[in-house]
Amino acid sequence: MSTANGPLLAARDLVKTHGRTDALRGASAELHAGEILAVTGPSGSGKSTLLHCMAGIVRPDGGSVHYEGLRIDTCPEDRLSALRRTDFGVVFQFGQLIPELTLTDNVALPLMLAGTSRREARARAGEWLDRFGVGDRGDARPGELSGGQAQRGALARALVTGPRVVFADEPTGALDSLSGERVMSELVSAVRSSGAAVLLITHDARVAAYADREIRLADGRAAAMEGAI
Amino acid sequence: MSTRHILLGLLSSGPSHGYDLKRRHDERFPQARPLAYGQVYTTLQRLVRDGLAKIEGTDSDGGPERTVYRATDDGERELARWASETAPPAPFVSNEIFAKVVVAILSGADPAAYLHDQRAAHMTRMRELTKVKTTPGADLATVLSADYALSHLDADLRWMSTTADRLATLTAEVTSR
Amino acid sequence: MTEDVKLAWLFTRGSDRREWWRFGLTAVGALCATGFAAAAAALASLGGVTYRIPYGDGLFDRPGERTGVILALFLLLLPTMGFLGQCARVGAVHRDRRMAGLRLAGASARRVRRIAALETGLACLAGSVLAALVVGAVVLSIGVPSALLWVAVAAVALLVPVAGALVSVVALRRVVASPLGEVRRERRPAGRRTALQGVVAVAGAIMLGILVVAYGGRIGVNGPVALFVAFLLIGLGAVWVSGSSARLLGGRLAGRTEDPAVLIAAERLRDDPWAAARTHAAVLLITVVATGYMGIRQAMMDDIFAPESSSPQDVDFYVTGLDLTAAAVGIGLLITLAAVAVGAAEGIAARRQGLAEQVAAGVPRHTLSRALLLETALPLAPAVGLAAVGGLAVGTFYATAMGGGGFVLPWTALPVPFAVYATCLLAAATAMPLLRRTARPSELRHA
């Protein structure tokens, strides 16, 4: 376990190169338990790459990522995969729902992967869908949902396993502003009650304003840290 | 912002006294600057002088005696005219942030640092407003007025970020004259 | 029209790597198709005359045996067609997007279809010209042929690209309808009836095949053509069975499975059962043919090596004939496996962003791999089973008829469907390394 005051997730001096372009050039960030941290910056500043590195989706070329004392950037892939399943939840711009599965099955999937029985998994998925106001769309497939509904389904899928960290990469990027506001306030109220921390990537100041704190990236480095915990 | 029209609007739902009007104003327009008592009473006196409101009587209700006002027919007409009239969209562009940037350039200070600090201040305020509107049980009036402010702050931020990207050109332009 | 040809050529030149795969594979498919068809046409043009042809131990000399060879070549066309159909799907997403772009730019649906058809036609022409040259060279090495032969070969070499272009027009009929390139699949209710119709079609075709084998000569029906039709019907029926059983199986399994991989595979099958069926058409045909062949081979070998029969030269002749057929079946199987591998790879490539997102969200790669394999394995099992029954019926009938006394089960044919099934799964598994390379976060960014 982490020390009482230490960060839950800490990235230090991350370097990552995509081909010939440097996506990250010594970026650092700390995420504390239960806080919402916004990472903002112009496009191409390395926001998504930072999230990918911190979520263990991508291995950085240099620097380190620690999650509760476990070093993620050098951890074997199986362990990372398990970690993403149990401790982390992920939400992307276009959701990450499997187009062929019903909304309920999509949300139940992470639980089934963890060994929960289908019936139990579907029941818990249903509760989360109800909570996000899309309980009546459980039998629909993602293609039959509106953008806002699909994104709520994606939130439910990210939160259903009770993760300690939620990684959200432009979660409202594909939504109109009212749907975006709703999705954000539902995300915030859900993590406030579950105590999960959120790493929120966005280029939209109004979305960033839902966070407790903000890191601004420019040219692959954290340019400034603002706000108080 | 026309305080007299807003008071007239509050009166249109029925006769009321000054203290009650102030309370209802602050309740109806959360996040707005609260009305001062003095302002309420001077505005009511002007409305009476212009024939838009009149004194209905007094009401003590166990406490101190209060003057009760009601809107006149002229007042109702004036209110209808005002409410349907469009607000002039940005008639004068007075922009304190822009003025400060230009002054910073002229005086040889660091406009980029100023914009950076201003951005941080804006973000802090936006976080406060977002917190207010996401507080459980917040009513729609609170949410909408917070949204109004958030949209304006967001617009400022966008403007600041494009300005920050073009500071070099601006500096050249300002210092060349 | 010349403008369209120019456009088609421009698109072909400017397209990306994935599309070059399509052109390349289409050309290879056309090469095989033209090769088989032109050889068959050349042999057919010889008519009912005996020649000395220095290949295959005199198998091509007499008209009777030539008929058998022509049939074998015709049958090889079937898996080749399946392969060509599969190739049309490679990089189809890109092509569909380009076609939609053309529509947005103001081209009429007909014009877009024509351009697409020309693209396919050009690729097929490249392959078929090459094949015609090879066939021509072989013919010239034997002797001076009749004009009829040249006409037949040239006709085939032209027909194949034309057929390819027509097929692509049909395949694109829905894509080009909308400038936004949206093709929405309608969800039809699960079809117990269609499955039944498929079984009936297969059974009917088997009966037809048996009747042709037994009485074809007597009533003067052209044997090879009738058999070709019978096999085609069996194949279509099996595709039917494969598609509708995919939907049924998908629905059943999706409702009750506890395994995430099975759930994903089952829902994908229910969503688009015909995707699997298209891929499997060639597999099913080759199962019918291979199972039937093994039965016939066993019966003939028993007959040839029976003590009272044929001289040593005759034995050579028959064995060479059987071996050539075996080679043809083997080539057919190879083509089929290539089609399965191409189909599996294309299935992954078309969904690469979704797969990358699943991996990023913590779905283990092995779960996704298993789901992809199950997608091939589940619907293939009943269809291969049915196709094997069909082939076995033909073989058994033949063996029993040849054996003279009593019922003969060609037991050597029994392992064939299992072998086909296993090699198909292996072929699908060759696409798995692609999943590892594909399901990478670099695929996450672009929508």
A84: nearest CB among C362, C444, C447: C362
Report domain extents, chain C.
1-183, 190-447
> What are the chain A neighbours of B124 within 8 Å (beta carbons)?
226-227
Q: Residue A190: which of C358, B136, B138 has the closest Cα?
A: B136
Contact call for B154 and A214, based on CB within 8 A: no
Q: Do chains B and C touch (3 or more CB pairs under 8 A)?
A: no
Q: What is the pLDDT of residue C224?
A: 57
The residues on C that touch A, with CB distances below 8 Å, are: 254, 256-260, 263-264, 267-268, 270-271, 354, 357-365, 367, 441-442, 444-445, 447
B164 to chain A, any CB pair closer than 8 A? The answer is no
When scoring A43, A181, A203 by the number of chain B Cβ atoms within 10 A, the one with the most, hence best to mutate, is A181
Question: Can you give the pLDDT at residue C384?
Answer: 84
Closest to B123 measured CA to CA, from B167, B158, B165? B158
Residue A209 has its nearest CB partner, among B130, B136, B161, at: B130
Query: Could you report the per-residue pLDDT of A87-109, keeping only the tens digit for each?
Result: 999 888 876 788 888 999 999 98
pLDDT of the residue at A165: 95
What is the per-residue pLDDT for C308? Answer: 65
Interface present between B and A (3 or more CB pairs within 8 Å): yes
Residues of B in Cβ contact (< 8 Å) with A205: 122-123, 126, 153-154, 157-158
How are the residues of chain B apportioned to helix, strand and coil, as percentages rounded to the nearest 5? Answer: 65, 10, 25
The string of DSSP letters for A12-39 reads: EEEEEEETTEEEEEEEEEEE-TT-EEEE
Q: How many CB pairs under 8 A join A and C?
A: 80
ipTM over 0.85: no
Give Cα C392 to chain centroid, integer Å.
Answer: 20
What type of residue is A175?
A: L
Touching chains, A (3+ CB pairs < 8 A): B, C
Contact A227 B124 (CB under 8 A): yes
CB contact under 8 A, B126 and A205: yes
Asked whether the predicted pLDDT for residue A164 surpasses 90, the reply is yes
Orientation of helix B140-165 relative to helix B167-176, angle to 10°: 70
**How far B107 CA sits from the closest chain A CA (Å)?**
26
Closest alpha carbon within chain A to B146: A206
Predicted confidence at residue C53, as pLDDT, reads 72
Q: Which long-range contacts link C317-324 to residues 24+ away (Cβ below 8 Å)?
A: C317/C57, C317/C58, C317/C59, C320/C56, C320/C57, C320/C59, C321/C56, C321/C57, C321/C59, C321/C65, C321/C68, C322/C297, C324/C56, C324/C59, C324/C69, C324/C72
Assess contact for B68 and B55: CB atoms under 8 A: yes
Answer with the residue of higher pLDDT: B51 or C181.
B51
Q: Using 50, 70 and 90 to split pLDDT, how confident is the model at A166?
A: very high
* pLDDT reported for residue B46: 92
* Record: contact A18-C357, CB cut-off 8 A: no
Structure tokens at B166: 């073009």
User: pLDDT per residue over A50-80, tens digit each?
Assistant: 998 998 888 899 999 999 988 988 888 778 8
Chains in contact with chain B (at least 3 beta-carbon pairs closer than 8 A): A
Q: Does A14 touch chain B (CB under 8 A)?
A: no
- Measured in angstroms, the CA of A48 and the nearest CA of chain B are apart by 20
Interchain CB distance below 8 Å, C256 and A118: yes
Q: Which helix (H) or strand (E) holds B91?
A: none
What's the token pair of residue C133? 């040259």
A226 at interface of B, judged by CB pairs closer than 8 A: yes
Q: Please indicate whether, in this complex, the C-beta atoms of C270 and A58 are within 8 angstroms of each other.
A: no
pLDDT in tens, A176-209: 888 888 889 889 999 999 999 999 999 899 999 9
Distance from CA of C257 to the nearest CA of A (A): 8
The side-by-side arrangement of strands in the sheet containing B66-71 is B16-17, B66-71, B53-59
- A105 to C263: CB separation less than 8 angstroms, yes or no: yes
Q: A193 to chain C, minimum CA–CA distance in Å?
A: 22
| Residue of B114, B126, B127 best to disrupt the A interface, most CBs of A under 10 A | B127
Contact between chains at A227 and B136 (C-beta distance less than 8 A): no
CB contact under 8 A, A189 and B134: yes
A205 close to B (CB below 8 A): yes
A189 and B136 within 8 Å at the Cβ level: the answer is: yes
Judge residue B102's burial from the number of C-beta atoms within 10 Å of its C-beta, 0-12 exposed, 13-18 middle, 19 or more buried. Answer: middle
Min distance A57 CA to chain C CA atoms (Å): 6
> What pLDDT shows up at residue C444?
63
Dihedrals φ, ψ of C361, to 5°?
A: -80, 5
C281: CB partners within 8 A, 6+ apart? C82, C85, C235, C236, C238, C239, C242
**C199: amino acid identity, one letter:** V
- pLDDT-derived band at B152 (thresholds 50, 70, 90) equals very high
CA–CA gap between residue C7 and residue C11 (Å, rounded): 6
**Are the C-beta atoms of C278 and C239 separated by less than 8 Å?**
yes
Whether A44 contacts chain B with CB within 8 A: no
Look up residue C154 and give its two tokens.
């040239």
- In 3D space, the residue among A138, A142, A144, A145 whose CA is nearest the CA of residue A121 turns out to be A138
Measured CA angle at C354 (ends C348, C359), to 5 deg: 95
Secondary structure of residue B55 in the 3-state scheme: strand
Residue C25 is which amino acid?
L
pLDDT (tens digit per residue) in A23-56: 888 889 999 999 999 999 888 888 888 998 998 8
Q: How many CB pairs under 8 A join A and B?
A: 41
Is some CB atom of chain C closer than 8 A to the CB atom of A17? no
Is pLDDT at A229 greater than 50 in this prediction?
no
Residues of chain B with C-beta less than 8 angstroms from the C-beta of A226? 120, 123-124
Low-confidence ranges of chain C (pLDDT < 70): 1, 12-19, 48, 54-59, 89-93, 171-203, 205-231, 234-235, 278, 307-314, 402-406, 439-447
Give tens-digit pLDDT for C194-228.
Answer: 556 666 666 676 666 666 655 655 544 455 566 66
Which A positions 29-58 lie with beta carbon below 8 A of chain C? 48, 52, 55, 57-58
User: Which residues in chain A touch residue B154, judged by CB atoms under 8 angstroms apart?
Assistant: 204-206
Q: Do C362 and A88 touch (CB under 8 A)?
A: yes
Identify the pLDDT of residue A1.
44
